[in-house]
Amino acid sequence: LALAASLAVPFIGEVLGQTPCVRCWFQRAFMFPLAIILGLGLWWRDPRAGRYGIVLALGGGAVALWHMGLYAGLVPERIQPCTAAGPSCTDDNQLVFGIPIPLMALAAFALVGALSALSLKETRT
């Protein structure tokens, strides 16, 4: 899931031609390492790799939740961080196939975090 989300980034940018906003860059900073760390955890069959997945998913989920609040208009205009140079965090550029990018990111982080938590459950025989 983290790898699919990471591969969606070049698709959105290069194929669909959408330039990322400031918040999207912060979300990427959490998603890209997830794909690498969890991929290596699977490769090495490390049963505790999910711990790192949970931490990164919580951080990325927090950024995505804030971004979704900006997009939905729940965060007041006076504290919006995306008014500097670059694309807006709240315009139609944030839609892919009619779905807001921050919502897709939030769902991906939530699923990765939940699956990482499930991977840590001990099995009893």
pLDDT at 82 (0 to 100): 56
CA distance 83 to 12: 22
CA atoms within 13 A on the CB side of 54: 11
Closest to 107 in 3D by CA, of 78, 66, 64: 64
pTM: 0.83
Least confident of 8-12, 18-22, 23-27, 80-84: 80-84
Percentage with pLDDT > 90 across the chain = 45
Rg of the chain taking only CA atoms, in angstroms: 16
Helix axes 2-10, 22-43, angle to 10 degrees: 140
What does the pLDDT look like over 75-123, one tens digit per residue? 776 665 555 566 666 666 777 888 888 899 999 999 999 999 999 886 5
Cβ burial of 107 (10 Å; 0-12, 13-18, 19+) is middle
